[in-house]
Amino acid sequence: MYVIRERMFRLGEDSDVTDEAGQPVLHVDGKVLSLHHRLILRDPGGREAGQVNRKLAALRPTYQISIDGKDVAEVRKHLFTPFGERFTIDVHGAGGMEIDGDLLSHEFTIGRHGQTVATISKRWLSMTTSYAVDVAPGEDGVLILASVLALDLAIDAEHQ
């Protein structure tokens, strides 16, 4: 289980990701002045582990995910979702996953071929927002966490 916690006094989309014991896993550095809504994921040593970039020339909210300098996935919002939020995660060379959820309850799941690979619960702790992300064993944690960050960017963009 991971916790993505936004910083209370932040400039941009800076967040910290910890494991369930509270140990740092990633720091998310949001680029405030970037048109692409770029997030850089850094490991505890400060090395870049991945990026999330918004694609500007897309009809629907679309985010490119790169890990270790390689484009690995694209997260796209479905245009018509009358009963909740739905996103597709196209993993290059490995098929796809779906994010389904409800904005009102702030609960989401990521699934592949009918199997749940992660559950996401958005919570408010004092004045900050956090996501609890439970990733199934054997799944790529950085890819799942980057997908959750893309989901958060898309939801924030919709509300602005």
CA Rg value for the chain: 15
Q: Which residues contact 22 (CB under 8 A, 6 or more apart)?
A: none
pLDDT of 101 reads: 87
CATH architecture under which domain 2-158 falls: Beta Barrel (2.40)
pLDDT digits (tens, 9 = 90+) for 98-124: 999 876 667 899 999 989 999 998 775
CA angle 40, 106, 13 (to 5 degrees): 25
**Which one is predicted more confidently, 26 or 84?**
26
Place of tokens 């996103």: 87
Whole-model pTM? 0.81
pLDDT digits (tens, 9 = 90+) for 32-53: 555 557 889 999 999 999 999 8
The Cβ of residue 117 has, within 10 Å, a number of other Cβ atoms equal to: 21
Average the pLDDT over 63-87 and give the result.
Answer: 85
pLDDT at 147 over 80: yes
pLDDT of 10 reads: 46
What are the structural domain ranges in the chain? 2-158
DSSP class per residue in 111-145: EETTEEEEEEEEEEETTEEEEEEEEPTTS-HHHHH
Provide the Cα torsion 59, 156, 53, 8; round to 10°: 170
